Amino acid sequence: MNKKIESIIDKMKLLEKELLDEIEKEEKKFGFKVETEGIVFNKEIRKSHRKYAKNLFRYILDAPFLYILTAPVIYGAIFPAIFLDLYLFLYQMINFRVYGIKRVKRSDYIIFDRQYLEYLNPIEKLNCMYCSYFNGLMAYATEVSARTELFWCPIKHAKKVPYIHRYYTMFISYGDAKEYREKLEKLRRAIKEEG
């Protein structure tokens, strides 16, 4: 990888950290603490949250009919999601052990914490839990597949891709046969040592 690309990647990492620090500062004004038993809001914030909770009956009555009709389509995806979740567990237990790759920690990706928001009614909390599970599962699957790709095929695409995972910048340039043969084992060692 050339020095200019490395420099840009380093700047991106610094900006990402700066962004996350700024988001953390912004969140402090909402008065919550993350504790082992869950998210805890101070008393005044909890009281103000309850004022914004929408009555469950009113929520259902106000829901557009087409939204209600689409709910089974959305929630029907839970079955393939659960299958994928189980498959990813087995995949890592078998393949990652053979390759010597550290397993992806599922709980780092599937995070349930929105149920502590008292301005959400039970249906909204269920919807948030579903979205947390499904989107977390997709991020978890991306990390598993990214580690696999780094191990087996760490070559950049010739075409531009709309999304790159965190290992993609380490990949070998498309068409660079010499670098591929020279770096493949080094990249495999890197993913084995990560963690």
Please name every residue paired with 34 in a beta bridge, in sequence order, or none if there are none. 39
Mean pLDDT for 121-137 is: 97
Query: What H or E segment, with its residue span, contains residue 41?
Result: strand 38-41
Give percent above pLDDT 70 in the chain: 98
Task: Give the C-alpha separation, 128 to 65, whole Å.
Answer: 20
Model confidence at 195, pLDDT cuts 50, 70, 90, reads low
DSSP three-state, residue 154: coil
Q: 3-state SS string over 155-169?
A: ECCCCCCCCCCCCHH
Instruction: Give me the residue spans of the domains in the chain.
Output: 31-193
pLDDT higher than 90, residue 45: no
Measured CA distances, 169 to 2, 14, 146, 162, 164 (Å): 11, 15, 12, 14, 8
Is pTM beyond 0.75 here? yes
Rounded Cα distance between 163 and 167, Å, is 12
